[in-house]
Amino acid sequence: MDLFDKFQPLKEAYAALTAGGGDPFGVAFDNILSPTIGLIGDREIVLAGTNNYLGLTFDEAVISAAKNALEKFGTGTTGSRIANGTFGPHRLLEQEMAAHYGMSSALVFTTGYQANLSVVAGLAQKGDQVFIDADCHASIYDACQLSGAEIIRFAHNDPSSLDRRLSRSDSNHSNKLVIVEGLYSMFGDIAPIDEFVEVKNRHKAYLMVDEAHSFGGFGKQGLGVAEDCGVLKEADFLVGTFSKSLAGIGGFAVSDHPDFDLLRVAARAYMFTASSSAASIEVTRAALKIISDRPSLRKNLWENAHRLHAGLKSVGFELMADPSPIVAADLGDPMRAAKAWNVLLQSGVYVNLAIPPGTPNSKSLLRCSVSAAHTSEQIDFIVDCFAKVAQLD
């Protein structure tokens, strides 16, 4: 008997997946030259799977903010938010994020994963019910498990499926929290948040929207899909990450609930982990300002998204959703997808390999994320490389 015996099937599947050369889950870039170019050895790779939607990781003002914070506050915080890990920038970012959303409270977390863990497992407990979209991220599933609440799953992006499940629970008096995402990370499909708002209002449930992949790219101010659907104020809790459009590391949650700040002393994933470094927080503050000041970034992002979507379609791929900053191609089965992933990397393009059970509907995908910083030439190069993949058996 060995503790690792249970992982034998995983070991075999992983070995089969990596037999073709590269390891899709272990790529290391030796250098990053820009938001869209990385180096493996001395080979330039076009980055098309890094969720760097607005391409701000090398922005001059963002880098300068990080450097200044390093000089002023040192490297790490060496503590949790409730001990010595709250610095001025954490407080300032929370105030700015709340103002940005026009809401009364914002909390900053160390990662997006911990934001979900804190909000969901902080708000819901034994005796409560959480209703989650089937395609919600692993962090939401983990958070629900941790909460001890009853977890009821509804069909993906289907307000009527949620409606039926809430109806079955109307007679009980538990608190009900509905959780959806704005933009889903695997297929790149968008949630009808306005329709979910109508359903949750009718059943007197709370709604949490995770805008991890949609913050920065959707809505007039870039606040996400809830803003884009015109129902920002009706979402009870909005969660997001700093590690995508905001070019840092961390997560946030905003709400107008008068007691929302109680999570600071109730949410264990907020209380018992080290806080984000001041440099990462200052990066996020700088990026947040840029997102407000430069709506042209969103325009570039969407032009690139449409260009890539149309390009991949034109070379014969079945795509999982309408154009969005996430463009996912269906490769049929895991081994074919892994082979294609290797060909792409050898050709100079990095995308994400996504296979079951990590994908909805057992799909095997090559998942691209588009950046505002991609040039038209880079998008066309990505499409040309995919065209080679389309020729594979």
- The rounded distance, in Å, linking the Cα atoms of 81 and 7 is 36
172 vs 292, which CB is nearer to other proteins? 172
> Which region, judged by CB under 8 A, interacts with other proteins, from 62-70, 204-212, 328-336, 357-365?
357-365
31 vs 362, which CB is nearer to other proteins? 362
Give me the amino acid identity at 334. Answer: P
Does 356 interact with other proteins (rule: CB under 8 A)? Answer: yes
Any residues with CB less than 8 A from the CB of 127 and at least 6 apart, and which? 149, 174, 175
Any residues with CB less than 8 A from the CB of 20 and at least 6 apart, and which? 338, 339, 342
CB of 359 to other proteins, least distance (A): 8
> Pairing mode, if any, of strands 43-47 and 349-350?
parallel
Radius of gyration for the chain, computed over Cα atoms and rounded to the nearest angstrom: 21
What are the residues facing 239 on neighbouring strands?
A: 210, 253
- The rounded distance, in Å, linking the Cα atoms of 180 and 189 is 12
144 vs 253, which CB is nearer to other proteins? 144
Structure tokens that stand for 100 in this block? 């940005």
Contacts with other proteins in 122-141 (CB under 8 A)?
A: 134
CB of 150 to other proteins, least distance (A): 4
Among 53, 101, 109, 154, binds other proteins (CB under 8 A): 154
| Total residues at interface with other proteins (CB under 8 A) | 18
Among 165, 176, 298, 374, binds other proteins (CB under 8 A): 165
Backbone angles phi, psi at 30, to 5 degrees: -80, -25
6 vs 71, which CB is nearer to other proteins? 6
Does 168 interact with other proteins (rule: CB under 8 A)? Answer: yes
Give me the amino acid identity at 282. Answer: E
Among 96, 150, 234, 261, binds other proteins (CB under 8 A): 150
59 in Cβ contact with 372 (< 8 Å): no
55 in Cβ contact with 36 (< 8 Å): yes
153 vs 289, which CB is nearer to other proteins? 153
Does 169 interact with other proteins (rule: CB under 8 A)? Answer: yes
Q: How many helices (H) and strands (E) does the chain have?
A: 13, 15
Does 387 interact with other proteins (rule: CB under 8 A)? Answer: no
67 vs 204, which CB is nearer to other proteins? 204
Q: Report the first-to-last Cα separation within the chain, whole angstroms.
A: 41
Chain-centre distance for alpha carbon 120: 16
Burial of 341 (0-12, 13-18, 19+ CB in 10 A): buried
Does 146 interact with other proteins (rule: CB under 8 A)? Answer: no
- The rounded distance, in Å, linking the Cα atoms of 174 and 123 is 13
x-or-dash pattern for other proteins, window 232-271, by CB under 8 A?
Answer: ----------------------------------------
> Which region, judged by CB under 8 A, interacts with other proteins, from 96-104, 151-159, 282-290, 375-383?
151-159
> Which region, judged by CB under 8 A, interacts with other proteins, from 22-30, 65-73, 158-166, 195-203?
158-166
5 vs 259, which CB is nearer to other proteins? 5
CB of 344 to other proteins, least distance (A): 25
Contact residues toward other proteins (CB under 8 A) are: 134, 145, 150-155, 161, 164-165, 168-169, 356-357, 360-362
